[in-house]
Amino acid sequence: MSRTVSEIMTDEVVVLHEEDNLAEVAFDMERFRFRHLPVVDDRTLVGLLSQRDLFRFTVSQLERGPAAASKDAMYKANTFVRAIMTQQPQTVLPETPISVAARKMVEARFDCLPVVDAKNELVGIVTSHDLLKVVAEMD
């Protein structure tokens, strides 16, 4: 019998809400070393925010000095998750075989997949790191 996503996923997931501002989100993602966070409305998955999304929507690194830092801080404080999140991200169910989730991630070049139940409520997240741990345990 093949192993399922529910066996390797993280089920205590830190989440965001659409109305969170990017200043708080960017600080927390850096502090806790998160690369992607699900966005929920109550428990229903509505989006996914990645570090890449944040990098694309910041003041250019080509700008330097206090004016650039101030501009970046103001931009992040006035921009909300809903504006830059990926809406309707690809997902898997807890009973999805690990191999199917891995194939989906490789083909689409995703680093994670939110895990939802039949009502689209978030129950976990599976990451490329989770899959690498499975491979490392093989022998």
**What residue spans define the domains of the chain?**
5-137
pLDDT number for residue 68:
75
- Output DSSP code: residue 7: G
Q: What is the mean pLDDT of residues 116-138?
A: 95
* Residue in this structure with the two tokens 């139940």, named with its chain if needed: 117
Q: What is the mean pLDDT of residues 13-39?
A: 93
CA angle 104, 6, 51 (to 5 degrees): 55
pLDDT digits (tens, 9 = 90+) for 79-107: 999 999 999 999 999 999 999 999 999 99
Q: Are 121 and 110 in contact (CB under 8 A)?
A: no
Distance CA 129, CA 48 (A): 17
Q: Is the pLDDT of residue 61 over 60?
A: no
CATH of 5-137, one of 3.30.420.130, 3.10.580.10, 3.40.630.30, 3.30.499.10: 3.10.580.10
pLDDT number for residue 127:
97
Question: pTM value?
Answer: 0.89
Q: Which residue has the higher pLDDT, 19 or 76?
A: 19
What are the residues whose beta carbons fall under 8 Å from the beta carbon of 77, sequence distance 6 or more?
Answer: 21, 22, 23
Q: Which two tokens stand for residue 88?
A: 């309707």
Confidence of residue 59 (pLDDT cuts 50, 70, 90): low
Q: Which of 125, 122, 124 is nearest to 43 (CA)?
A: 122
